[in-house]
Structure 1
Amino acid sequence: MTTIMTGAELDPDEHARLYRAAASRDARFDGVFFVAVRTTGIYCRPSCPAVTPKSSNVTFHRTAASAHESGYRACRRCRPDTTPGSPEWDVRADAAGRAMRLIRDGVVERDGVDGLADTLGYSTRHLNRMLTAELGAGPLALARSQRAATARTLIETTSMTFADVAFAAGFASVRQFNDTIRQVYAASPSQLRASRRTFSGGGQLSLRLPVRQPFDSRRVLDFLAARAVPGVEAVRGDTYARVLRLHHGTSVVSLRVRDDSVTMAPAMHDLRDLAAAVQRCRQLLDLDADALAIDDVLGADESLAPLVRSAPGLRVPGHVDGFEVAVRAILGQQVSVAGARTTAAKLAERFGDAIESDAATGLVRAFPAAATIAAADPADLGVPRQRGRALVGLAAAVASGQLALDPGADREETRERLLAVPGIGPWTAAYIAMRALSDPDVFLDADLVVRKAMRSIGADASQVERWAPWRSYAVLHLWRQESENGASR
């Protein structure tokens, strides 16, 4: 993706390209960049229906935080802060991409900028300099922008007190919350609440998650339903529910998943975990993927084109817990999806933490924590001994902090560390990278179902390189091809 600079740093050709994109009002660019108007002091999403300003009066920003730092407020008409996230941050494996994924997960609120820098392996000063040069805003400003967007959603869609909203959004004080809302939206929290269009709260926290279109909701639900661990997660109709193990406790979340929208109903143990819960649910459903760009690349291949046409907007489901998906990947070695699910259910029943039963969803426990599995005897895990040793070795590495399994981890380094765990081979490490690390460019060339699907569509290994950087999505198309023909992975 072309680097988007701001103001005088932007070369004329790039400015003209972005201006044409903004003038087209193409919603595909929403969240990818933002348009700030000097004469009004506001910034918009590219698809804003307002009259397009003169080219000389606009600057372009890669993040909302950059626009905020430059003194612009969010447009009240197009609400640029409610756009889906930029797909760039899920694709990029560099430090800026990792930083954005960690900031969205709430690392700055939990550990501060020093903690973020530590995780990335940089000094705080260098991290600030790098992100400001790359994104137009430092980590504090990026986190502050996310807090403001979360707060606005809660102000307008719930009856929560403003003190609770400030707490849930990650602000350190009500004063900081008030000042930020006024600066970003040119309105007080009271004014935002008074101007909301509709409200159907009734005490139930409910959030609408923006979705980048097209979105194949049915198949992402089918994927999750086939792997749902009883008691931990459930799929009923168009709703997926599960127990989340978050930083401040265990919560339950329900997601009503449709092609045009996703509605999240979280029952939070601690409101400080709300932003992280939202981001993990977005990652689970792959809501920020640039489906049109992905389909363009994969659909250009003669063998894959029919699969892409039959399932536009197909997503690669991520996960809410990297350790959980890694455990389930090990359990899934050389067995069917149904077999792995059964084993995971037994493991969760024996080692998972019980929660107060949720009557609406039937959920009763959290998936086992890494420390719990690390302390277990491999012979007690209900799997072959070698697989049990792999589970304990993985859990020990995660519990000790030697191995991070989240979208902010260094993908190459993490795969190397996974392969160093006895019992984890290339297929397992690649599958974990695809789902736990949200790596969009993983190809499971050793997967038996993938090989069978390749033969059935007449594709060979020489074509795979042309599917980059979206080979994870090619894998999902190939799995779908075989699944709908009676096989599964």
Structure 2
Amino acid sequence: MRLHKFSERLWFQTPLCPDNLFGHLIATAVPGVEEWRDGVYRRTLRLPFGCGIASLRPLTDHVACTVELSDPRDLSSALDLCRFLLDLDASPMVVDSALSADPLLAPLVSRAPGRRVPRSVDGAEFAIRAVLGQQVSTKAARTHAARLVSRYGTPVGDLFLFPHSFDPADLAMPESRRRTMAALLSALESGLDLSPGADRAAARSWLTSLPGFGPWTVESIAMRALGDPDAFLPTDLGIRLAAEALGLPSTPAALVRRSEVWRPWRAYAVQHLWATGDHEVNRIPA
């Protein structure tokens, strides 16, 4: 497959904190689909006219972006996906100002202004990976995903597109989770839209109706696939531990009530709370 190469600068409003943004993408990268090499994050793209590979390097005031496309008509779509992936259209001063109004969050914002929400270029892929990651470690989830890619992935240059269709019976996981995966694949085939411009309320409703889709999975998809800036994960263990350490309520119901003052930017509050933990998603590898 011949790929056409284009290089662009992706500008953004400063400040931008790259640590959790690229750190999360690198730490959860699926081998064969994504990679981090020599300060550049690469991954495949599924596009309207074909497919491609994006290479992204964070710099002071822009992200250096190279896209290799099977069809040049996809250039605009590819760049839009890269901007969405890195949340480059966010207004950091607006978000930071709103969250800083809470005296318990203000020190976190002051230490790392301009945090963005790491997102996904492929909502169906992210939803499948979310199911693969239920009740297992990040490493185990990556292993499950890599096995799917090696068997069902479509080659693009030296990488692969993540598969949207496969037999859940091939997955090395409990039968209950295979049923969850089968229900998701059926919904995607039937028209469940998890793209950035999709109806978030409709997507949430459909996902919630599927077996095995609890609030954590649904809100993770809303935050990273649908780009909801107010998605919130009060049941997440990391969030609850961070909340307790800061003097915030740590039970989900109480934390939801307390989080009302962060609206409509709770997805960004999640990033600040996660960053209080010592985890590889919060840092870019040396």
- Same structural fold, with TM-score higher than 0.5 when normalized by the shorter chain: yes
**1:240 offset after TM fit, Å?**
0.9
2:39 pairs with one of 228, 231, 238: 238
The equivalent residue for 2:252 is none
How much does 1:468 deviate?
A: 0.5
Deviation at 1:399, TM superposition (A): 2.0
For residues 314-329 of structure 1, the aligned pairs below 5 Å read 314-329=115-130
Compute the TM-score of the two structures, normalised by the length of structure 1: 0.54
Specify the alignment match of 1:388 in structure 2: 178
- The residue type equivalent to 1:233 in the other structure is E
Query: Equivalent residue of 1:465, what SS?
Result: helix
Give how far 1:327 is off. 0.9
Distance 1:304 1:409 in 2: 31
Deviations 1:319-373 (A, max 9, x none): 100001111111121222222222211222222123342xxxxxx311012xx23
What are the residue-to-residue correspondences of 1:191-340 with 2, within 5 Å? 204-340=5-141
The Cα RMSD (Å) is 1.9
For each residue in 1:36-91, what CA deviation from the matched residue of structure 2 results, as whole angstroms up to 9, or x when unmatched?
xxxxxxxxxxxxxxxxxxxxxxxxxxxxxxxxxxxxxxxxxxxxxxxxxxxxxxxx
Q: Deviations over 1:202-229 (max 9, x none)?
A: x952111121211112331111110111
- CA distance in 2 between counterparts of 1:387 and 1:258 reads 40
Contact 1:439/1:472 (8 A) holds in 2 = yes
Verify the 8 A CA contact 2:9 2:62 in the aligned structure 1: yes
Secondary structure class of the residue paired with 1:206 = strand
Which of 1 and 2 has greater Rg? 1
CA distance in 2, matches of 1:337, 1:471: 23
Alignment of 1:11-410 (within 5 A): 204-357=5-158, 364-369=159-164, 372-373=165-166, 376=167, 378-401=168-191, 403-410=192-199
Identical amino acids, percent of aligned pairs: 47
Q: Per-residue deviation at 1:392? A: 2.0
| TM-fit CA distance, 1:268 | 0.6
Counting helix residues as a fraction of each chain, which structure ranks higher?
Answer: 1
The structure-2 alpha-carbon separation of the partners of 1:204 and 1:277, relative to structure 1 and needing over 3 Å to count, comes to closer
* Moved >6 Å (runs of 4+): 485-488
Q: Secondary structure at the match of 1:404?
A: coil
Given residue 475 of structure 1, which amino acid in structure 2 is its aligned partner? V
Q: Normalising by structure 2, report the TM-score.
A: 0.90
Q: Does the 8 Å contact 2:122/2:195 carry over to 1?
A: yes
Report the alpha carbon displacement of residue 263 of structure 1 after superposing the two structures with TM: 1.5
Q: Which protein, 1 or 2, shows the higher relative CO under an 8 Å CA cutoff with sep ≥ 6? A: 2
1:300 partner amino acid? A
Q: Are residues 1:436 and 2:231 paired?
A: no
1:470 to 246, 262, 265: 265
TM-aligned CA deviation for residue 487 of structure 1 = 9.8
In structure 1, distance between residues paired with 2:281 and 2:197 = 36
Displacement of 1:390: 1.5
User: 1:238, 1:258 within 8 Å by CA — same for their partners in 2?
Assistant: no
Q: Which deviations, in whole Å up to 9, do the C-alpha atoms of 1:375-422 show, x marking residues without a partner? A: x1x221222222122122212211232x10012111111101001111
Alignment partner for residue 453 of structure 1, among 227, 242, 248?
242
Distance 1:310 1:347 in 2: 39
1:486–1:418 distance in 2 versus 1, CA, 3 Å: closer
Q: 1:311 to 1:423 in 2, by over 3 A?
A: same
Report the Cα distance in structure 2 between the residues aligned to 1:222 and 1:393, rounded to whole angstroms.
Answer: 31
